[in-house]
Structure 1
Amino acid sequence: MNIGRAIEIMNAADIVDVSYQGEKIIIQNVDEKTKKARIYTKAKPDYELEVDVYQLIEEI
């Protein structure tokens, strides 16, 4: 995924399905400088990760 799309999804009013390593996630924050996203899984909302945006997959 690219930075622009990650930011759009993060700010979207509608739910957009995104996954990271096969798990559905929520994008909490995107850092344009480092190209990293702060995410958490729907299954474990207390477990946050910082990952490269390009590793996120939008499920269509």
Structure 2
Amino acid sequence: MNKQRAQEIAKSSVMCNVTYNGKPIYIQHVDENNETARIFPIGQPENEQDVSLSSLVEK
């Protein structure tokens, strides 16, 4: 996923269908410098992690 689209999704109030390793996730924040995103699986906010933007897929 490109940086700009990830930022749009993170700022949007509308839930987008984005996955990480095949699992639906929520994007909390995008780090432009490192090209990573702070994410967590839907319904599991305690499982936050930083992942590469290239590993995120919008369906």
Q: What SS class does the counterpart of residue 25 from structure 2 fall into?
A: strand
2:8 is aligned with 1:8: yes
Identity value in percent? 39
Match of 1:54 in 2: 54
Question: Mind listing any 5+ residue stretches in structure 2 that lack a counterpart?
Answer: none
Match of 2:29 in 1: 29
For residues 1-59 of structure 1, the C-alpha deviation after alignment (integer angstroms, 9 at most, x for no partner) is: 00000000001121111000010000001000000100000142210110000110001
When the two chains are superposed, the root-mean-square deviation of aligned CA atoms in Å is: 0.8
Give the number of equivalent residue pairs: 59
Tell me the TM-score normalised to structure 2 length: 0.94
* 1:50 alignment partner AA: D
Tell me the TM-score normalised to structure 1 length: 0.93
* 1:15 alignment partner AA: M
